[in-house]
Structure 1
Amino acid sequence: MKINVTKLNKNAILPEYQTPGAAAADIHACLDGPVTLQPMERRIIPTGLAIAIPEGYEVQIRARSGLSIKHGIAMVNGVGTIDSDYRGEVGVLVINLGQEPFVIEPGMRIAQMVLSKYEQISWQQVDTLNETARGVGGFGSTGIREA
């Protein structure tokens, strides 16, 4: 699938898949200089890119696993969603959950993005829901086994 992308900054780097089997493309920080993220500090890191996502699709912005495990760099909102009608700059909402300051360098691979198909829901209000074996059991209920 082809997605139209515009560089809003001459230093922006297009998303890149690192391997042939990669589901997510790495996205890069588009900064004028290094940015130091203190422990528990949140920031929006610009990418210098705007994208045109087709209707019926979203782009999910996710943390890079290596930055998460080695440095505690995560997404403030867990997984970010870019809607098909958004045309502004893609920003990465990062937080430093680590114990040390972390330096984000210009051009650094800061997050990853995945294109996902979705359907909007047409809600139908009913008086009762159909019964299932699980019923209302939640939050760990499927992991409990009785002897």
Structure 2
Amino acid sequence: MLEIKVINKSHHKLPDFGTIHSAGVDLRAYIDTSIVIKPFERVLVPTGLFIQLPEGYEAQIRPRSGLAFKNGITVLNSPGTIDADYRGEIKVILVNLSNDEFVINDGERICQMVINKFERFNWKLSESLDDSERGTGGFGHTGTH
């Protein structure tokens, strides 16, 4: 199993997987005072967590579906990427896409984090690309009619 070095400067327990099949862990707000997010406002929310990822891995910060559906609160740059060489505190950009104010309290689960392996690549300039079944079909091209 992959091990991730973590420093927890918050007073919250380390994030854990909700179920045996959960892909990510929920991160919690680590704040001194509650934050009010007004409609269509964005805020940067600290978590108190610092991580060291192995080379070839990234952490993705994703919205929590319940917050998004029930309250219109989502991660603005979704998914946010944490690179393996970043050592600063994990902070989350949240945006309120509802018409109502939303209050974030200390310890509230604000997003989920998933760890992914990735491949580096080199560009290979070409004058053409191989044909495929889809071809140049864009947005909505593979949908049913």
CA shift for structure 1 position 132: 1.6
Name the count of aligned residue pairs: 144
Q: What SS does the corresponding residue of 2:142 show, helix, strand or coil? A: helix
Per-residue CA deviation, residues 35-91 of structure 1 (Å, 9 max, x unaligned), is 111111101100011100111000000010000000000111121000000000000
Per-residue CA deviation, residues 100-141 of structure 1 (Å, 9 max, x unaligned), is 110000011111000001001111011111112221111112
CA contact (8 A) 2:10 2:47 kept: no
User: Which consecutive unaligned segments of at least 5 residues does structure 2 have?
Assistant: none
Please report the TM-score for the alignment, with normalisation by the length of structure 2. Answer: 0.94
Whole-Å separation in 2 of the counterparts to 1:40 and 1:59: 26
Whole-Å separation in 2 of the counterparts to 1:62 and 1:10: 20
What is the aligned partner in structure 1 of residue 7 from structure 2? 6
Alignment of 1:121-132 (within 5 A): 121-132=121-132
Q: What SS does the corresponding residue of 2:133 show, helix, strand or coil? A: coil
Q: What SS does the corresponding residue of 1:47 show, helix, strand or coil? A: strand
Please report the TM-score for the alignment, with normalisation by the length of structure 1. Answer: 0.93
User: Which consecutive unaligned segments of at least 5 residues does structure 1 have?
Assistant: none
CA RMSD of aligned residues (A): 1.3
CA contact (8 A) 1:13 1:28 kept: no
Q: What SS does the corresponding residue of 1:86 show, helix, strand or coil? A: coil
Alignment of 1:109-124 (within 5 A): 109-124=109-124
Whole-Å separation in 2 of the counterparts to 1:133 and 1:20: 37
